[in-house]
């Protein structure tokens, strides 16, 4: 295994604000690695430091062994970047946008032409090569940006929120491209996202990041298995009372989130009737009950006591979150 990206104790401060706080990880060649976290968690700042666009306050980062502070040119040659801000020229055609980028990287004319055709085919835009970008949909623009990011044959690709604002179908489509790319070209991909499903479907490993710190790092499977089996969610106005009576030994964890009691357990189907019976016995009104397999949302909730989307949907939402670890 070859290390493509090495990050050690990387930190970025903006005056008093610690945007990235002593994070460390390694990414192998060919791996798809996700930085998953809510808005403001420090994902973009991390990518910007790795892409030599911002100087770290302290710590070390290397891309293909090249130090991001000491060998900016070396790092830039090794990486392709697709950041959040749209950076295509709307008035130029797809081919012209690619060509312009190729010239910036001084790729010789013949090779440039060849690669432009190859990459536009890869992202299924070859037929639209001579159309101006203004006429492209959001998904087509993203695909073109990805193709452009690959023109100088980088071995590492940075994708900042690659499917932000795209509809579910286009998002799915793009995930397939990204997965194919990494496999066929053995490119390491580091992407940021706050879409759980994106991280789950695409990434070999995920670092969950919150307030500039990595709070969990593993494969999606291991992260979800770490929750401890299935989850039963009970909505009830009497969530405090419910949490006190649910003390069976097969409950591995219990949390209250807003007016929901969430219990983790193995084989939820076998125990659901006991849960309902116990709540009935104590005359606890139940609005709804559901069983589901753990998702990355549950992992995030379990580590932080909050949902990943909360900050996005309503920053002022107040939450009452209690954590109560129960016996194993």
Ligand X SMILES: Nc1ncnc2c1ncn2[C@@H]1O[C@H](COP(=O)(O)OP(=O)(O)OP(=O)(O)O)[C@@H](O)[C@H]1O
Residues at the site binding ligand X, with contacts judged by CB under 6 A: 14, 17, 19, 37, 39-45, 192, 194
Instruction: Give whichever of 207 and 268 is closer to ligand X, judged by the CB atom.
Output: 207
Instruction: Give whichever of 59 and 102 is closer to ligand X, judged by the CB atom.
Output: 59
CB of 85 to ligand X, least distance (A): 11
Instruction: Give whichever of 125 and 159 is closer to ligand X, judged by the CB atom.
Output: 159
Distance of CA 283 to the CA centre of its chain: 42
Instruction: Give whichever of 55 and 324 is closer to ligand X, judged by the CB atom.
Output: 55
- What one-character-per-residue DSSP string does 291-324 give? EE---HHHHHHHHHSS-TTHHHH-TT----EEEE
Q: Which SS3 state, helix, strand or coil, does residue 230 take?
A: strand
CB of 24 to ligand X, least distance (A): 17
2, 174 in Cβ contact below 8 A?
Answer: no
CB of 55 to ligand X, least distance (A): 12
3-state helix, strand, coil in the chain (%, to 5): 40, 30, 35
Instruction: Give whichever of 40 and 228 is closer to ligand X, judged by the CB atom.
Output: 40
CB of 190 to ligand X, least distance (A): 13
Q: Which SS3 state, helix, strand or coil, does residue 59 take?
A: strand
CA distance 154 to 107: 13
Task: Work out the angle between the directed axes of helices 138-149 and 94-104 (0-180°, nearest 10).
Answer: 30
CB of 19 to ligand X, least distance (A): 3
């Amino acid at each position: 295994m070859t290390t493509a990206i090495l990050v050690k104790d990387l930190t970025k401060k903006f005056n008093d604000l610690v945007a990235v706080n002593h994070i460390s990880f390694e990414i192998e060649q060919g791996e798809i690695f996700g930085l998953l976290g809510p808005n403001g968690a420090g994902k973009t700042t991390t990518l910007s430091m790795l892409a030599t666009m911002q100087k770290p306050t302290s710590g070390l980062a290397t891309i293909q062994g090249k130090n991001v502070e000491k060998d900016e040119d070396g790092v830039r040659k090794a990486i392709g970047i697709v950041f959040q801000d749209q950076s295509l020229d709307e008035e130029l055609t797809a081919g012209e946008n690619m060509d312009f980028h190729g010239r910036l990287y001084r790729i010789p004319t013949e090779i440039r032409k060849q690669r432009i055709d190859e990459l536009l085919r890869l992202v299924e835009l070859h037929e639209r090569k001579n159309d101006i970008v203004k006429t492209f949909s959001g998904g087509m623009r993203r695909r073109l940006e990805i193709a452009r990011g690959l023109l100088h044959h980088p071995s590492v690709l940075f994708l900042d929120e690659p499917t932000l604002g795209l509809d579910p179908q286009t998002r799915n489509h793009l995930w397939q491209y990204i997965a194919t790319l990494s496999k066929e070209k053995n490119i390491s991909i580091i992407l940021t996202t706050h879409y759980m499903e994106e991280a789950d479907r695409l990434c070999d490993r995920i670092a969950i990041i919150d307030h500039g710190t990595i709070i969990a790092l593993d494969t999606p499977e291991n992260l979800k298995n770490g929750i401890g089996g299935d989850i039963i969610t009970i909505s009830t106005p009497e969530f405090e009372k419910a949490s006190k009576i649910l003390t069976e030994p097969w409950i591995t964890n219990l949390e209250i989130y807003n007016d929901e009691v969430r219990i983790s357990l193995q084989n939820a189907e076998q125990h659901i009737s006991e849960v309902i019976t116990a709540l009935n016995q104590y005359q606890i009104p139940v609005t709804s009950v559901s069983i589901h397999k753990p998702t990355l949302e549950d992992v995030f909730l379990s580590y932080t006591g909050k949902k990943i989307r909360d900050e996005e949907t309503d920053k002022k939402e107040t939450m009452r979150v209690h954590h109560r670890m129960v016996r194993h």
